[in-house]
Amino acid sequence: MSRILARLDELYAIGQHRAGYSPEEDAAHELASRWLREAGLEVTSDEAGNLFGRRGEARVWSGSHLDSVPTAGRFDGALGVVAAIEAAERLPEAPLAVVAFRAEETGPMGSKRLSELPDAFLEVHIEQGPVLAQLDEPLGVVSAIAGQARGFKVFEGRADHAGTTPMDARADALLEAARFILHVRECARAGTVATVGAIEVEPNATNVVPAKATVSVDARSADPTLLDALIDEIGFELNWRTDPVPMADAFAAVLPDAPRLVSGAGHDAMVLAAVGVRSSMLFVRSLNGGISHHPDELSSDADVALAVDALTDALVRLVS
Ligand SMILES: [Zn+2]
């Protein structure tokens, strides 16, 4: 096993769930601090608790997060930090910083509270999906992070007795909601995804015709025009909407033939890009069908090694 995978095991041994600002996340930051020092970097942290390992005038940062979800595997976030330490060690003269942002999974909180910004940021991350495996490619360059819209739709009906009310005399709110859920699925075509993930039913009783149903909507696309069209076509109360965020081309420059992917999930790189930092992201192939936020989350030693090579090459170009 490579040192990277051994380190991911060490972090996982602290706890599968390393919640933001928990003792487990603190312990992960302490462990990473030791590795940063061993790599010859100067360890600091900022007011938000983000961890830095710096060398010289560090205008280029690389890293990710060490917090994790309750059902986490070994790779999400941790891979980006450990890979950045590895690359920093290979470039003993390069001015750079390795960073572990706090509480990505519940915010992102750390990357949103930075007291300084770099010129460029590089994040290596497990894909958390099946696309690279399907393409038989070890690495993918992230071209953009999808914009998201969240909201809900409410259906009003009338509570009635489930035994005595004839079918043609009912106003069943959940039935209307069910039609809407199928409609949401129909609206999501190429370049977009849409999900109903939560339903609240009132009175939520087995023998009462549903009087009210509230369903959630999550809609995403890397194309702002497609996202707006999707929101219009679905038709729902919008709670918030974020624009898609294009990524910079530091990884595209060193991997010209790698496939380009859109990230459907938000990441620290998105937060930095949104405030003007040239942020680039590299996805590493997910094995086991792309499963993530699950103990079976996996990338191979060989693919991870290629990612560290690409990260090192990209850093060389940016710092020299
Ligand atoms: Zn992550």
Question: From the CA of 125, how far away is ligand 1's center (Å)?
Answer: 7
- 16: DSSP letter: S
Q: Is the pTM of this model over 0.85?
A: yes
Question: From the CA of 160, how far away is ligand 1's center (Å)?
Answer: 46
Question: From the CA of 41, how far away is ligand 1's center (Å)?
Answer: 23
Q: What is the pLDDT of residues 151-165, one digit of tens each?
A: 999 999 999 999 999
Q: Does 1 score more than 80 pLDDT?
A: no
Q: Does 87 score more than 80 pLDDT?
A: yes
Q: What is the pLDDT of residues 201-218, one digit of tens each?
A: 999 999 999 999 999 999
- For residue 174, give both structure tokens: 């959940």
Q: Which of 211, 149, 205, 139 is nearest to 175 (CA)?
A: 211
Question: From the CA of 63, how far away is ligand 1's center (Å)?
Answer: 11
pLDDT of the residue at 184: 98
Question: From the CA of 120, how far away is ligand 1's center (Å)?
Answer: 19
Question: From the CA of 269, how far away is ligand 1's center (Å)?
Answer: 10
Ligand 1 is an ion; its neighbours by CB within 5 Å are 76-77
The whole-angstrom separation of Cα 217 and Cα 199 is 10
End-to-end CA distance of the chain: give it in Å, rounded: 32
Question: From the CA of 150, how far away is ligand 1's center (Å)?
Answer: 20
Q: What is the pLDDT of residues 44-82, one digit of tens each?
A: 999 999 999 999 999 999 999 999 999 999 999 999 999
The whole-angstrom separation of Cα 152 and Cα 104 is 25
Question: From the CA of 95, how far away is ligand 1's center (Å)?
Answer: 25
Q: How confident is the model at residue 12 (pLDDT cuts 50, 70, 90)?
A: very high
**Inter-CA distances, 276 with 110, 262, 272, 319, Å:** 17, 19, 7, 18
